[in-house]
Amino acid sequence: MSNFRINLQQTGWHCLTDERIAFIGARLIDPQINLDAVQDIIIESGRIAHIGKFPANWQGERIKAAGNIICPGFFDMHTHLREPGFEHKESVLSGCLAAAAGGFTGVACMPNTDPAIDTPGIVQFIRQQAEGQPVEVHPVAAVTKGRKGEVLSEMVELAECGVTAFSDDGSPVASAGLMRRAMEYAKMLKAVIIEHCEEPTLTANGVMHEGAFSTRLGLPGWPSVGEELAVQRNISLAGYTGGRLHIAHISTRAGAELVRRAKQEGMNITAEVTPQHLTLTCEMLTGYDSDFKVNPPLRETEDCEILLQALADGVIDCIATDHAPHTDDEKAVEFIRAPFGMLGLETALGVIYTKLVLSGKLSLTRFIDAMSVKPRQILNLPAATIAVGAPANLTIFDPNLKWTVDRNKMNSKSHNTPFHSWELTGRAVGVVNRGIVWMIKQALLCYPEQSEVSRPLFQMSASLRSA
């Protein structure tokens, strides 16, 4: 814990500990209840106590929040926290810090750790690391033991300790036969299978999207059809088994079309897309910068456009970051040899808001729906809502705050962001969850009268400690 407090100070976060806090004048948006209004909101003992006009005789901390948006807390259902096994890249704590900095109040972390998340012990270990943080961490457990693609992991026991999703992410479940059994078994537990869709015999050695630019750069290609075939296979298997399938980080127009068709036929499948696959293209690899190396690879402009359309109209359900930290040393090698992955937690809000919401391509309501509401629904987690009596699980962001991404000023342990030096509009200024209110330093500028917060860094609300 003490470690984390130091981190907080170093990175400019402050924790308001008062159990009675009011945000004055923010715009409250909750797509689940069609709420979009400028109202005051009061939080007492970690719950929303009042929404509406500020009561005259109320005593407690007041934060002037005019100009900010408060919405149900963002949830990233696809994050790599790297612990256990790769703590040099990220830890649960540093990942939580990055998540909070990006406005997320919850993440689902992927099981490609060492050891893989395939036993209740590891699930609990990860949860323990995140205890006391305003960011909930929900481990996604491996589909197969050790993610080796051989035998199913012990899903019943894992589900009993609260796991609601399984994935071998990092690699696909290559065998169709094994995937069939996984879907059947998970269905019995009402759990969702999250699949990284890649046909490995088509993508072997591939390091970037196959097309004009891989040809020009002489880099081995990872063709779109490698995703298309895997998406089709998994949709077919979901149809056959009735299992719940969620398609991770969809990257191709063909993949999006397959999801659209399946949904039109009434199938219960879901899909996510990452900010990078919506805003970056393979053209950006011409400098062989390994910060742009990601799996699935960056595609073409047309793919971005079709993915955005699919996100806007709900074919793709949600936005997930696929936050994948790697150290600079690991990335500073020959492009072919560099690991796949890029940071995402701290830039997702700014990138999507700037590039898609401000440009009018994605509505603000749909953006919040895809960042907060849908991921929790897909994972069968309790909804976060802005309603009196509900636990306060909120993201506060300033839609007008301009900032520049700096790879050297990340809260993550790693720096591998492809958005370095991007000028963005829109940034989280605070999160509220599990009885903790965190505000980024700039936000204190609008704090009335008092210039310093002199109370202990944080103290959880007893009523929510066990929640």
Residues that bind another protein in the complex, under the rule CB under 8 A? 210-212, 214-221, 223, 287-288, 329, 332-337
CA-to-CA dists, residue 94 to 33, 35, 395, angstroms: 33, 33, 19
Measured CA to CA, the distance from residue 85 to residue 55 in angstroms comes to 51
Measured CA to CA, the distance from residue 158 to residue 83 in angstroms comes to 18
**Do the Cβ atoms of 307 and 250 come closer than 8 Å?**
yes
Instruction: Evaluate the CA torsion angle 445, 406, 272, 123 in order and state its sign.
Output: negative
**Least CB distance from residue 37 to another protein, whole Å?**
51
- Residue 457's Cβ-side half-sphere holds a number of Cα atoms within 13 Å equal to 16
**Least CB distance from residue 328 to another protein, whole Å?**
11
SS3 of residue 139 by DSSP: strand
**Which of 334/452 has CB closer to another protein?**
334
**Least CB distance from residue 214 to another protein, whole Å?**
7
Token digits for 322? 């696929």
**Which of 288/447 has CB closer to another protein?**
288
Instruction: Evaluate the CA torsion angle 2, 4, 8, 11 in order and state its sign.
Output: positive
**Which of 296/344 has CB closer to another protein?**
296
**Least CB distance from residue 165 to another protein, whole Å?**
35
**Least CB distance from residue 216 to another protein, whole Å?**
6
Closest to 190 measured CA to CA, from 325, 357, 381: 381
**Do the Cβ atoms of 83 and 39 come closer than 8 Å?**
no
Token digits for 453? 């917060």
**Least CB distance from residue 420 to another protein, whole Å?**
14
**Which of 168/300 has CB closer to another protein?**
300
**Which of 8/219 has CB closer to another protein?**
219
Token digits for 381? 């987690």
**Which of 213/353 has CB closer to another protein?**
213
| Cα 397–chain centre separation | 16
Report the first-to-last Cα separation within the chain, whole angstroms.
19
Residue 438 β-bridge partners: 15, 431
Which listed residue (322, 328, 329, 369) is catalytic? Answer: 322
**Do the Cβ atoms of 393 and 383 come closer than 8 Å?**
no
Residue 135 CB partners (closer than 8 Å, separation 6+)? 96, 99, 100, 104, 105, 106, 107, 431, 433
Angle 2-10/92-101 helices, nearest 10 degrees? 40
**Least CB distance from residue 13 to another protein, whole Å?**
34
**Which of 4/335 has CB closer to another protein?**
335
Report which DSSP code applies to 295: S
Residue 30 annotated among the catalytic residues of the structure: no
Which residues carry out catalysis?
A: 322
